[in-house]
Amino acid sequence: MAYLLRFLIIVMVAGLFLTTAVALNWINMEFGHIQLAIPAFMFTIFIQAFVMFYFIGVTRLVENVWNALNSDANLSELFEEAPADLEPYKKKVARFVHETQLSKRQTIPWTILMLVLGTIAFLLGGAHDTGMVSRTVHSGVAYGFFAAMAIGVVRQWYYLGKSHKLLRELKGLFGMSDDAM
């Protein structure tokens, strides 16, 4: 899943840079940047929601494992026969809980900031097109969006890799197959 999300992030960034290149007249195309901005930003909304829910889901999965480890009634969900000493499992899963919560805290605020600034830039683009705001206002917010996107994409890329490795470790710890969730 992390590789799919990374690929979709690359497509998102490419679409937004194409839109910007057309807006700044670096590239001449049959379509204007307004026609490119609509699908590019809709795709951005989709991808950022997908990334956000990935981190929420990974965190929830690890917390469910943690809760199952700490309740004697739910140990059958993790083990066919529960070992006598659960401390090594609890220690590793506690580290996993911390790492997934850190990943979520490090990515979701940037995702939300990208969505908010992107939406404002998109709406200000429409306002500029109708003459309600100056070009400077629209482009300033768009540049802010690109700054937030640059930071957010780097963080997402890094934490997608960490979460992918963490899920593999978690599945290996409990003997789950790679395709199990």
Across the range 60-65, mean pLDDT stands at 89
For residue 81, give every residue at least 6 positions away whose Cβ sits within 8 Å of its Cβ, in sequence order, or none: none
Q: pTM of the full predicted structure? A: 0.85
Per-residue model confidence as pLDDT tens digits over 9-55: 999 999 999 999 998 889 888 888 888 989 999 999 999 999 999 99
Which DSSP helix (H) or strand (E) runs through 15? helix 2-23
pLDDT of 180:
65
User: How much of the chain exceeds pLDDT 90, in percent?
Assistant: 59
pLDDT at 86 over 90: no
Q: What is the pLDDT of residue 181?
A: 58
Q: What integer best gives the mean pLDDT of the chain?
A: 89
Amino acid at 26: W
For 69, other C-beta atoms within 10 Å of its C-beta total: 21
Residue identified by tokens 């199990």 is 180
Question: Distance between alpha carbon 51 and the CA centroid of its chain, in Å?
Answer: 3
pLDDT one-digit tens code per residue, 108-138: 999 999 999 999 999 998 898 888 989 899 9
| Rounded CA separation 30/1 (Å) | 35
Residue 90: closest CA among 79, 103, 102, 106 = 79
Residue 171: how many CA atoms within 13 Å on its side-chain side? Answer: 13
